[in-house]
């Protein structure tokens, strides 16, 4: 992102005025559109707010922008001379459309991370660079550079990857599948998007866990779905709650993340799994099982998916490389009945024409390489190490002020704060202190919960981050 040149002979405010004039003339800020606030631009350009105020004054004197008290600074519409020229009302278009924007907390988190790369990141739900198999992937790439035809791929996904996944699913997840029942997606996110857009209709009722990652996704609301909650305790959801929701609201589908649930880290108990399968089978109710975390089991004994026990074909199974290899590959998969695979393949074709073959080829090679097993082994050890470091830091800094159950797998740590601090205040103060996390209410919980992703930070930053977080809490408790 552009920043003014501190060593230039040209004053900072002049550089900023020139830069903004250029972006305005290119159409990035069309006539009539709102410019970012002085505060926001000052943050972006890393200058004092007074410098941005001077730049704005300069542009105002040239007739390029106009400020009105209370309604911000806009690009002039009169600048174009005598003939009135009209620019589309872009901001109205930006506010239009069926599709809802992300939750305000999530947009705030992205904005903060974009503006300050030095923030200690307990928010992004992904692995740190050293946990991802970057060297292994680089080695595979340089050894097997892509040489075959780079055209539109099989719309269901690169066939060798689907074949490799048949082996993977059988060996690691005890799921029997054929390549024709697998759809490759751009991660679990796209699997969920396809299901909510194409298999359900506006007004349909669905059940999700409470708290739940699904709750953080406006895609459910965008599709017009009515969400009902299944409370999660230390052993997951209560299967009987599904029957209650079915009778009361005719729920059409259940979304579950039974292993190291996001955000709570809980594992659905074996006994509840059996009852769950009996109930959904009795009701003829489909379950979407999201299973991104199982192989991170710190003890090395990954819990099996529900799908491995599914004898009636009631479960749509979703998997991904994002949490066990690299989110930047953007590779996920779905195992589903043929009719569903065909429908979703057809729809995805219209949305993005499928995924690039290159990451799919790399993923297939990685799965079949001798790197895969040892990578998982070392990932588990390092995740456990980071979890322990997080707990140690929390106990040191916030003993008595928090409650939690330590997860046995996954990337996240769910934690209740005993002091009564509103989510928004805690998030802003933490950003000020230099750390960022996801407030629990994003996942539908009450205020006062926090999700820390410990996988994303370097070990040395975990202790530091929690110290900063504790400082934010102490400030707000004063």
Cβ(329)–Cβ(316) under 8 Å? no
Looking at beta carbons only, is 165 or 267 nearer to a copy of itself?
A: 165
Is 71 or 312 the residue whose CB approaches a copy of itself more closely?
Answer: 312
- Minimum distance from residue 315 beta carbon to a copy of itself (Å): 8
Smallest gap from residue 281 Cβ to a copy of itself (A): 5
Per CB under 8 A, which of residues 349..408 are in contact with a copy of itself? 349-359, 362
- Residue 460's contacts (CB-CB under 8 Å, 6 or more residues apart) are none
Count of residues in contact with a copy of itself, rule CB under 8 A: 121
Q: How far apart are CA 42 and CA 36, in angstroms?
A: 10
Residue in 58, 55, 24 with CA at minimum distance from that of residue 41: 55
Contact pick of 272, 273, 330, 387 for a copy of itself (by CB under 8 A): 330
Contact residue for a copy of itself among 8, 50, 94, 392 (CB under 8 A): 94
- Angle formed at CA 351 by CA 347 and CA 354, multiple of 5 degrees: 85
Q: In the range 337-356, which residues lie near a copy of itself by CB under 8 A?
A: 337-340, 342-343, 346-347, 349-356
> Would you count residue 93 as binding a copy of itself (CB under 8 A)?
yes
Q: How far is the CB of 156 from a copy of itself (least distance, A)?
A: 9
Select from 211-219, 264-272, 428-436, 464-472 the region that touches a copy of itself (CB under 8 A).
211-219
What is the contact mask toward a copy of itself in residues 299 to 328, using x (rule: CB under 8 A)?
-----------xxxxxx------x---xxx
| Cβ nearer to a copy of itself, comparing 38 with 153 | 153
Restricting to residues 176-205, name those near a copy of itself by CB under 8 A.
176-181, 185-187, 189-190, 193, 197-202
Between residues 343 and 474, which has the closer beta carbon with respect to a copy of itself?
A: 343
CB of 354 to a copy of itself, least distance (A): 7
Q: Any contact of residue 17 with a copy of itself (CB under 8 A)? A: no
Task: Give the separation between CA 241 and CA 332, rounded to whole angstroms.
Answer: 30
| Both structure tokens of 217 | 């996704």
- Which C-beta is closer to a copy of itself: that of 288 or that of 472? 288
Q: What residues between 45 and 64 interact with a copy of itself by CB under 8 A?
A: none
For a copy of itself, which is the closer residue by CB, 268 or 306? 306
**Cβ proximity to a copy of itself, 252 vs 468, nearer residue:** 252
- Which residue's CB is nearer to a copy of itself, number 102 or number 447? 102
Q: Torsion angle, CA of 124/126/130/133, rounded to 10 degrees? A: -150
For residue 445, give every residue at least 6 positions away whose Cβ sits within 8 Å of its Cβ, in sequence order, or none: 210, 211
Among 3, 5, 10, 27, binds a copy of itself (CB under 8 A): 27
Contact track, a copy of itself, 116-135, x by CB under 8 A: --------x-xx-x--x-xx
Q: Which residues pair with 3 in a beta bridge?
A: none
Site string for a copy of itself, 145-174 (x = CB under 8 A): xxxxxxxxxxx---x---------------
Q: Which is nearer to a copy of itself, 74 or 416 (CB)?
A: 74
Using the minimum distance from each CB to a copy of itself, give the nearer residue, 99 or 231. 99
Rule CB under 8 A: choose which of 39, 48, 80, 406 binds a copy of itself: 80
What is the Cα–Cα distance from 396 to 411, expressed in whole angstroms? 21
Taking the least distance from each CB to a copy of itself, the nearer of 9 and 26 is: 26
Asked whether position 271 contacts a copy of itself by CB under 8 A, the answer is no
């Amino acid at each position: 992102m552009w920043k003014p040149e501190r060593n230039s002979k040209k004053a900072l405010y002049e550089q900023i005025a020139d830069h903004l004039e250029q972006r305005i003339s290119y159409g990035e800020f069309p006539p009539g559109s709102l410019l970012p606030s002085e505060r926001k631009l000052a943050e972006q350009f890393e200058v004092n707010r007074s410098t941005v105020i001077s730049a704005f004054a300069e542009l105002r004197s040239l007739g390029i922008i106009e400020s009105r008290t209370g309604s911000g600074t806009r690009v002039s519409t009169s600048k174009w001379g005598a003939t009135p020229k009209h620019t589309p009302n872009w901001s109205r278009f930006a506010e239009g459309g069926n599709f809802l924007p992300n939750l305000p907390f999530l947009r705030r988190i992205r904005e903060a991370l974009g503006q300050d790369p030095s923030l200690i990141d307990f928010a992004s739900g992904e692995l740190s660079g050293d946990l991802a198999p970057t060297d292994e992937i680089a080695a595979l790439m340089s050894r097997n550079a892509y040489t075959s035809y780079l055209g539109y791929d099989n719309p269901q996904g690169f066939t060798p990857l689907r074949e490799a996944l048949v082996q993977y699913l059988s060996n690691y997840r005890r799921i029997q599948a054929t390549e024709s029942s697998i759809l490759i997606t751009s991660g679990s996110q796209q699997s969920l998007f396809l299901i909510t857009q194409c298999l359900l209709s506006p007004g349909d009722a669905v059940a999700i866990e409470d708290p739940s990652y699904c709750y953080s996704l406006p895609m459910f609301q965008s599709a017009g779905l009515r969400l009902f909650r299944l409370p999660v305790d230390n052993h997951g959801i209560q299967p009987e709650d599904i029957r209650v929701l079915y009778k009361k609201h005719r729920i059409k589908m259940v979304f579950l993340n039974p292993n190291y649930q996001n955000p709570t880290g809980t594992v659905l108990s074996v006994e509840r799994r059996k009852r769950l399968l009996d109930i959904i089978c009795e009701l003829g109710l489909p379950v979407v099982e999201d299973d991104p975390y199982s192989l991170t089991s710190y003890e090395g004994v990954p819990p099996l998916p529900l799908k491995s026990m599914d004898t009636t074909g009631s479960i749509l199974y979703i998997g991904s490389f994002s949490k066990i290899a690299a989110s930047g590959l953007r590779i996920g998969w779905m195992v589903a009945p043929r009719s569903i695979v065909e429908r979703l393949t057809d729809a995805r074709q219209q949305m993005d024409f499928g995924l690039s073959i290159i990451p799919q080829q790399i993923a297939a090679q990685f799965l079949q390489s001798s790197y895969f097993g040892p990578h998982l082994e070392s990932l588990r050890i390092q995740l456990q190490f980071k979890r322990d470091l997080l707990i140690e830091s929390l106990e040191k800094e916030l003993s008595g002020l928090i409650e939690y159950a330590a997860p046995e797998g996954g990337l996240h740590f769910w934690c209740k704060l005993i002091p009564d601090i509103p989510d928004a205040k805690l998030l802003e103060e933490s950003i000020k202190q230099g750390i960022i996390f996801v407030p629990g209410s994003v996942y539908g919980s009450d205020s006062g919960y926090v999700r820390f992703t410990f996988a994303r930070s370097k070990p040395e930053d975990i202790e530091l981050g929690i110290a900063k977080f504790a400082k934010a809490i102490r400030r707000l408790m004063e």
